[in-house]
Structure 1
Amino acid sequence: MDSFVDGSGYLAACTAGLPTLGTLAAQRADLDAWAHAETSPATYGALVEEGRALFAGIVGVGPDRVATGSQTSAMVAVVAASLPDGAEVVVPEGDFSSIVFPFLVQAHRGVTVRSVPIDRLADAVRPGTAMVAWSSVQSATGAVTDPQPVVEAAQAVGALTLCDLTQAAGVLPVSAAAVDVTVTHAYKWLCAPRGVAFATVSDAALERIRPVQAGWYAGEDVWSSCYGPTMRLATDARRFDVSPAWQAWPGAVAALRHLASVDAASAWRHATGLTDRLADALGSPRSGQAITTFPDGDGAALAALTAAGVTASGRAGRLRLAFHLWNDEDDVTRVVEVLRGVDGFRPVG
C-alpha cells in the first residue's frame, strides 16, 4: 500500500487505477524534461521496449509476442478486419463494447456476431465459428471465465481466440500463452496512465491477421521506416505496434515495474479476501472475485457511498465495488456502515 497514493475509500480500480508514487515521480520528471527540451523519441522508444518486456512477464509470454498500442478497441478492430467475409464470431452476452463493436461493424461483409451466456461460451462454439472473443473478467459483474474450455473448443473447430485481460492483468494470475490474441489496457489494475495498451499474438494469429493500421512503428527497424514506399514490417508481434503516446510511457513503465514485482496470486487473495469479508458482513454469498456487485436500480447506494467519500461505480443497475492493493479492512467497514443506512438496500436479488 505504501507504494501508492492514499487509496482509502477508492474502490474503483475496475474504472481506473491509482498511480504508484513511482509513476507520479516519472510523469513529473518527464514534464520537467519536456519543459527543458530534453525529451526525445529515442528515449521514449527505450521505455516502450522496457514496458513491452515487463508486460510480457506479467502475462507469461516472450516480448516478441507483444504489440503496443493505445486502446483495446483499435487492437480488436485489426483482428475483426482480418476475418473472412461471412465469418461467425461468438461473444458473451453483455461483454464490454470494445470487444463486441469492432466485430459488429463488419456486418457489411456478412460477419455475424452471436451472443451467448458467459457460462455457455465454450459450448456455443461450433463448426464454422471463426472467432471466440471474451473478457477474462466481466466488466459489469466481475465474473471470471476459465479460458481452458473455451480455448479447447475453439481449437477443435479451427477458430481463433481473443481475450481481453484489461480487468484481470495486475490482480488476477493470467497467462496469454494459450490464447491467439489478448488485449489489455493498462490504466486499470496495472495502474498506468491512460493511453498505454498491449496485445499478445500467437503464431497462428500472426499468420492470419493483417496489420491494417501499420505505420512507421510497425517497421522491422522503426527509425528507418519513416518514409515509403518501401515497407519492411517487423516479423514478430511488433508489426501490430502503433506510434506510442509518448508522455504516457514514463509513468506506465514505473507502474509496470511495480506490478511486475507483485505476486499476482497474492494480489488476488488480498482482493478476494476483502470482497468475501464484505459479503459476510452484509449477509450475501461470497463471490470470490476482485469486483463485487449489488442490486442498486435507483442508484441510492452509489449516491450514499459517494456522499460518504467512497469512490465506487454503477453498472447495469448494480453497485460495483473493486478491491485492489491499496485497499484494506477499513474500506470494508466503511462500505458496510454506509450501506446499512441506505433505505431499501438489499445485498442480494
Structure 2
Amino acid sequence: MRIPSSYLVTFREPEGYLDFGRFGPPSQAVLEASTRMLEQATGAGPSTVDDLMRHELRAMAAAARLCGGDTDHVVPLPNTSTGLFQVALGLAGEVVVSPAEFPANTYPWVRAGRARVNWLPAGPVTPEAVRAALTPETTAVSVSAVDFRTGYRADLAALREVVGDRLLVVDGIQGFGVVDEPWRVADVLVVGGQKWVRAGWSTGFMALSDRALERLEPVASGWTGALDPGLFDGAVHPVGEGAAAWSLTNLNPIASGAFATALELVELGGVRAIGERIGQRLDELGEVVEGAGGVVVSARERRGGIMAFEVPGVPSAAVGAALVAAGVTATVRPEHVRLTPHASTTPETVARFASALRELRAAKPVVVDVRAAGPVAGAPVRGNVLDALAPTVAGLASALGPGTEVVLHDLSALPNSIVAIAGGLTGRQVGGPMTDLLLGLVRRGTTQDLPGYDTYAPDGRLIRSSTVFLRDERGVAVGCLCVNTDPGAGGGSGQGGHAVEAFPGDVDTLQKLLVERAVEAVGVPVGLMKKAHKSEVVRVLDEAGLFLIRDSVDYLAGVLGVTRYTIYNYLNEIRGEQGR
C-alpha cells in the first residue's frame, strides 16, 4: 500500500535513527502544534484553558477510531504504567502474565497485591501456553501486543478465544499505530504515545470493554472521574459512567494536543501501509545483518516492528559502539542489539547501518599466538594497530628482560580478548579473558591509560603493571597493551598505587569470581536474599562488566535461583534509573 507523501514529509528524524521501539521522534506537525498551544498559553485569556482542554476530546476521538471503539470507552493516560496499575488495583482473582514482559506489565500485578500472579513459563505468549496456564481462579490474562525484546506479535484473536469470558488485558505500546491488530478483542487496551505513535512523552490512553467496566473496580479514580466533577460542594462524588470513571485528574492539554495531532497523522498514513513499510525496512536490515555474518534472533513469523540480532563472537556492547561511531542509533542490551525502524526510515539509514557492520566485520582482528608460526588459519585480517603489534609482542617481552609479560587485548573479542601474549608471568594464554579490573573499566567506558600500578600475580608475587589503550583513527579504543613485570626479577622498579586484580585463565573462572565478589559485597547469603538484595547483586555485576560475557545471564540466574527474565528485568530497572 502507498503511504501519502503528506504523511512522510512531516518527519525529520536524523539519518541513522533505528530506535523507535524506545522513543519515536515526533513529527514537525506535532512540534508545530505544541508550539502553537504553548504560545496560546502564554497569552492566556478568559477562554484559553477551556480551548486547550478540548484537545483531550480530540485525542480520545482519534484513539477511539483507531482502536475501533467509541469515546465512552476510552480515557486519557500519561503513560502505560498508570493504566496497568489502575487495572491491577481493580482486579481480584488471578492474573496470568509472563515474567519476560516489560516491567511496566509485571510490577503492577505484584505491587497491587490484589490478584494472585500466575507466571507463564519462558517463551512467547502463545494461545497454547496461556491455555495450559489457566485455572478456575483465573480472572484475567495480561500480555503485550508486541514483545519488546523479540518483536513477537501476540495472536490477540486466538488469545481472545482461549481466554473466553475472562478479561484480556493488552499493553499495546509496541504495536499501536503500526501493527494492524483487532484491538477490540481486548477488554483493556493500554497505549503510550511516546514510541511508535510519535507523540512525545506524557501521552496515552486506555480503552475498556463493557465487560471490563462491569468487573473492574476503579479504585484509582480521581476527582475528574467522578459524577459532576465541576461541582465543588465539599462531597466526594460517586464514580462517573463508562471509561471516564477511570480518570485521575486533568492531564497536560498541550500533551493532549500533541497526541491528537500524532494520532491523526497515523490515520492519514494508514496503519496497514505504515506497517508494510516498516516490514520492508526490517527485511532490508535483516539482509544486511546476515550478509555481515550476523544472526537475527527475533521473531520472524509473527513479527512486529522489532528486529534483534547478534554478531557471533562479538559482544553486543562492541556492536553498539560500532553503530554509535557510524551515527546509527539502536537499543543495545547484554544479549543482543535491537533495531526498530519506522515508515519514515530511509534507504540511506539502512545503508549507514550496512556500512557500520561492514566496518565492524573488517575491524575484527587476526587472532595471533606468538608461540605459533603465524595467524590462525581462516581468521579475518585487518590492517590496523592490533595486527601491527601482535607479531612484536614476543620480541617486546624479550627486550624488556626476565620477569616481564606482555599481553595484547582485542576489545571487540570480549571476553576472550587475549590475542597475543608472551612472558608467562600470569600463566595465561591466547584466547583467555582480560582481568576483572580491565573488564570493569571497559564496561564503564573508562578507557584511560593506567601507568605503573602495583598488583599481584596468581602465585602471590607483587608485580608492576601498566596498560595503554590502543585506538583507531576515530579515537575509539579497540584494544590495549599490558606490560606486567616482576620487580624481584629485575623487570622494573618504582612506586605505584595498589590496584589488586585477578588474572583468570578462562572465562568461567572470571565469571565465577565476579559473581562471588558481588554476593560477598551485598553481604547476604543467596538463600536469604530478598528481591532488593538480588537486584543489588545485578547492579554490582553490571558495573563490573559481567554481562559482556556470553551466557552470563543464565549463569547468574542459576546462582540466584531466578529466571533469566528476572535478571533482564533487574537490568532494565537499574539502567532505567541510571538514565541509560
- TM-score, scaled relative to structure 1: 0.90
Aligned equivalent of 1:67? 75
The Cα shift of 1:304 comes to 1.2
Aligned equivalent of 2:288? 281
Aligned equivalent of 2:241? 235
SS of 1:299 mapped into structure 2: helix
SS of 1:90 mapped into structure 2: strand
1:96-117 superposed Cα distances (whole Å, 9 cap, x missing partner): 111111001234x572231333
1:46 is aligned with what amino acid? R
Alignment of 1:172-191 (within 5 A): 172-191=179-198
Report the Cα distance in structure 1 between the residues aligned to 2:115 and 2:137, rounded to whole angstroms: 13
Comparing 284-293 with 162-171, greater Cα deviation is found at 284-293
Report the Cα distance in structure 2 between the residues aligned to 1:256 and 1:227, rounded to whole angstroms: 37
Does residue 78 of the first structure (1) align with residue 119 of the second (2)? no
Does residue 137 of the first structure (1) align with residue 142 of the second (2)? no
Report the Cα distance in structure 1 between the residues aligned to 2:319 and 2:12, rounded to whole angstroms: 26
Alignment of 1:87-126 (within 5 A): 87-107=93-113, 109=114, 111-116=116-121, 117-118=123-124, 119=126, 120-123=128-131, 124-126=133-135
Aligned equivalent of 2:322? 304
5+ residue gaps, structure 1, are none
1:90 is aligned with what amino acid? V
CA contact (8 A) 1:216 1:227 kept: no
1:180-202 superposed Cα distances (whole Å, 9 cap, x missing partner): 10100011111112101111101
Does residue 30 of the first structure (1) align with residue 45 of the second (2)? no
| Residue 126 to residue 340, structure 1, CA distance change in 2 (3 Å) | farther
1:73-106 superposed Cα distances (whole Å, 9 cap, x missing partner): 121111111222xx32211241111111100123
- TM-score, scaled relative to structure 2: 0.56
The Cα shift of 1:31 comes to 1.9
Does residue 327 of the first structure (1) align with residue 345 of the second (2)? yes
Comparing 270-279 with 1-10, greater Cα deviation is found at 1-10
CA contact (8 A) 1:140 1:315 kept: no
CA contact (8 A) 1:27 1:250 kept: yes
SS of 2:230 mapped into structure 1: helix
Aligned equivalent of 1:57? 65
Higher relative contact order (Cα pairs below 8 Å, separated by 6+ residues): 1
1:290-344 superposed Cα distances (whole Å, 9 cap, x missing partner): 1101126441111111121111112352101111121022222211111122256
Report the Cα distance in structure 1 between the residues aligned to 2:145 and 2:233, rounded to whole angstroms: 39
2:51 is aligned with what amino acid? T
Report the Cα distance in structure 1 between the residues aligned to 2:205 and 2:263, rounded to whole angstroms: 12
1:252-276 superposed Cα distances (whole Å, 9 cap, x missing partner): 2211121122211111110011111
CA contact (8 A) 1:167 1:188 kept: yes
CA contact (8 A) 1:13 1:324 kept: yes
Does residue 48 of the first structure (1) align with residue 56 of the second (2)? yes
1:270-293 superposed Cα distances (whole Å, 9 cap, x missing partner): 001111112123325683541101
| Residue 330 to residue 227, structure 1, CA distance change in 2 (3 Å) | farther
1:105 is aligned with what amino acid? R
Q: Give identity over the alignment, percent.
A: 26
1:203-236 superposed Cα distances (whole Å, 9 cap, x missing partner): 1110111222222221344433x55415143211
Comparing 323-332 with 192-201, greater Cα deviation is found at 323-332
5+ residue gaps, structure 2, are 1-7, 365-411, 414-550, 552-580
Report the Cα distance in structure 1 between the residues aligned to 2:194 and 2:168, rounded to whole angstroms: 23
Does residue 291 of the first structure (1) align with residue 306 of the second (2)? yes
Report the Cα distance in structure 2 between the residues aligned to 1:110 and 1:246, rounded to whole angstroms: 34
Report the Cα distance in structure 2 between the residues aligned to 1:93 and 1:178, rounded to whole angstroms: 23
1:45-91 superposed Cα distances (whole Å, 9 cap, x missing partner): 2100010000111111111111111121121111111222xx32211
Aligned equivalent of 2:545? none
2:100 is aligned with what amino acid? G
Does residue 318 of the first structure (1) align with residue 336 of the second (2)? yes
Report the Cα distance in structure 2 between the residues aligned to 1:298 and 1:191, rounded to whole angstroms: 27
Over the aligned positions, Cα root-mean-square deviation in angstroms equals: 2.3
- Give the paired residue count: 341
SS of 1:204 mapped into structure 2: helix
Q: 2:11 aligns with which of 4, 10, 32?
A: 4
Aligned equivalent of 2:202? 195
Comparing 70-79 with 180-189, greater Cα deviation is found at 70-79
Report the Cα distance in structure 2 between the residues aligned to 1:122 and 1:332, rounded to whole angstroms: 37
SS of 1:144 mapped into structure 2: coil
